[in-house]
């Protein structure tokens, strides 16, 4: 995991770094799950996703937004994601469990993922993105 929370006046801003685009998406997913549910998450329930978008930033935003939607509607909490990106198509297998208030309520409610200021960059060390979680 390579993410850190950055200072922001009203929301949660995360900086994610990874050597590959697939790992960048996985780490952004982990940052979201830890923000919302804390660290006590395990697996056992698999959920598959396939998402297409016009560009890489929109693909990341759509992926995280879909995960947030699934958590809310299906009452699930995820511990990890095996993400594969091919162009502007993402496939992922999420591993999680049913929400348990006694274990998963220590986080911060995230209402959505913001596109504001999001830009995925690449340099010799890999990829980086700053992403804003609306709380």
- What DSSP string describes 64-119? HHHHHHHHHHHTEEEEEEEEEEETTEEEEEEEEEE--HHHHTTS----EEE-TT--
Quote the mean pLDDT of the chain. Answer: 93
Q: What is the pLDDT of residue 127?
A: 97
Residue 3 has pLDDT above 80, yes or no: no
Question: Which tens digits make up the pLDDT trace of 15-57?
Answer: 999 999 999 999 999 999 999 999 889 999 999 999 999 999 9
In this prediction, residues 122-127 reach a mean pLDDT of 94
Q: What is the pLDDT of residue 74?
A: 97
**Four-way CATH pick for 19-134: 3.40.50.2000, 3.40.190.10, 3.40.50.300, 3.55.10.10:** 3.55.10.10
Output the furthest CA–CA distance in the chain (Å, rounded). Answer: 43
Q: What is the pLDDT of residue 123?
A: 93
Which sequence spans correspond to the domains of the chain? 19-134
């Amino acid at each position: 995991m390579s993410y850190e929370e950055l200072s922001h006046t009203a929301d949660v801003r995360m900086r994610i770094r990874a050597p590959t685009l697939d790992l960048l998406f996985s780490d952004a997913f982990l940052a979201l799950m830890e923000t919302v549910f804390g660290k006590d998450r395990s697996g056992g329930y698999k959920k598959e996703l396939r998402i297409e978008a016009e560009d890489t930033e929109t693909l990341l935003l759509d992926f995280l937004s879909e995960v947030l939607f699934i958590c809310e509607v299906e009452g699930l909490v995820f511990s990890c994601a095996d993400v594969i990106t091919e162009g502007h198509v993402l496939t992922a297998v999420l591993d999680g469990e049913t929400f348990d208030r006694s274990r998963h309520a220590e986080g911060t409610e995230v209402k959505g993922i913001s596109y504001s200021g999001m830009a995925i960059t690449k340099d010799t060390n890999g990829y980086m993105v700053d992403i804003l979680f609306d709380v």
